[in-house]
Amino acid sequence: MKTKIILAAGFAAAQVGAAHAGGIDRSGQGISPLFEKGTYGEVTLGFADPNVSGTATASYGGAKSGNMAGSYMLPGFAFKRDFGNKVSAALIYDQPFGAKVNYPAATSLPAYFAAGATATLSTNALTGLVRYKIDDNFSVYGGARWQTMREKVGSLPLNTTTAYSAQGANKGAFGYVVGVAYEKPEIALRVALTYNSKISYSVPTREYLNGALSGSSTTQIDTPQSINLDAQTGINPTTLVFGSIRWVDWKNFAIAPQLYKSLTKGGSLVSYHDNTITYTLGVGHKFSDQWSGAVSVSYEPKVGGFASNLGPTDGKASIGLGATYTVNPNVKITAGVSYIQIGSAQTTLNNTSAASNFSGNHAVAAGVKVGFTF
């Protein structure tokens, strides 16, 4: 029970920072409910408030963009149950990827070149997992993930006279999850390696120039494959060290509708120069039978290259604090807050020269989780 309390606080400290990770990563695709004891359920709610602004280069007018990143909520839930001593199953809902872009409208001249541009991308995923314990230490797990995706772009400038818009249909597709874990319960040791497959969509897309429909086509979009390595170990009866490494295959991700790709000579609405790796390390401590806390730090190196005007960030560093209150042996409430320093980036409109510089940006994220053991 001691380590379970600490781990709950670790969730709050570490997971809320994932709300503004690399690319359009949001939830981190965690599977920790699968390792809870007995019959277990949880509901979670995260909130992120990023502040991302930049300045156009001199050749594009030198205007300031204003804060172009909208705040958002991140809900989730999970339910887990044992079936005998060796088999358990979990159902997990999250929103693994997302984006919310809203460049302020111009209020003075010169106007920022992307003033008034908007974009949203939303996903919803339901993952069913089954775990089989080979022995007291080793287990394997896997399952299927159903994920929906929808995207919309409005008033993105192609040049000084043409604004581009696009809207994709809501689509769903299946992917899969596989993993292996090693545990040593007497010292609260657990190491879990999880692979999340890419999920492929063929999205009917309508594209507009200056508000007029200019083409309808199908856009191929693959949300990226990823690998999570999660580890924890107790260092004394009341203290736990935990950490994770998350790799995401952003290099092979792009949203490039047919007309946009043609007009920009191979450009993408959203793409990334390279893959991302996010490192997290934290420590949790039990202060009393009711209270425990945790602190974690996270770092994601810059990948370089031009960033998209719909996602002008590169890398991050964050610190998170979490606390768990045990209401009774069957109910725990966990809350956490994280401050994220967002890495600077340059954007482009022609794929050869910088159009803007974004720096000095940050985000604040918070989360709460209520866990029930039945």
Which residues lie below 8 Å from residue 127, measured CB to CB, with a gap of 6+?
Answer: 31, 90, 91, 92, 93, 94, 143, 144, 145, 146, 177
The whole-number pLDDT of residue 30 equals 93
**DSSP assignment string, 31-53:** -GGGGSSSSEEEEEEEEEEEE--
Q: Which residues of the chain have pLDDT under 70?
A: 1-23
| Amino acid identity for residue 269 in this structure | L
Strand order in the sheet with 354-358: 54-56, 354-358, 345-348
d(CA 274, CA 302): 9
Distance between CA atoms of residues 223 and 171, nearest Å: 12
- For the chain, give the longest Cα–Cα distance: 69
Q: Are 257 and 220 in contact (CB under 8 A)?
A: no
3-state class (DSSP) for residue 13:
helix
**200 CA to centre of own chain:** 18
SS3 85: coil
Nearest-angstrom CA–CA distance, 43 and 32: 13
Burial 353-364 (b: 16+ CB within 10 A, else e): ebbbebeebebb
Q: Could you tell me the CA-to-CA distances from 127 to 13, 27, 173, 212, 342 in Å, in that order?
A: 23, 13, 12, 39, 30
State the Cα–Cα distance between residues 234 and 287, nearest whole angstrom. 15
pLDDT in tens, 185-209: 999 999 999 999 999 999 999 999 9
Of 211, 217, 315, 222, which is closest to residue 270 (Cα–Cα)? 222
Residue 1: the pLDDT is 42
What pLDDT does residue 70 have? 86
The CB-side HSE value for 150 (13 A sphere, CA atoms) comes to 4
pTM: 0.93
pLDDT, position 208: 95
Task: Say which amino acid occupies 91.
Answer: L
CB-CB contact of 293 with 323 (8 Å): yes
Whole-Å CA distances, 243 to 131, 212, 298, 328: 22, 50, 9, 27
The 8 Å CB, 24+ separation contacts for 340-344 are 340/17, 340/20, 340/50, 340/316, 340/364, 340/365, 341/316, 341/317, 342/20, 342/50, 342/52, 342/313, 342/315, 342/316, 343/300, 343/302, 343/313, 343/314, 343/315, 343/316, 343/317, 344/314
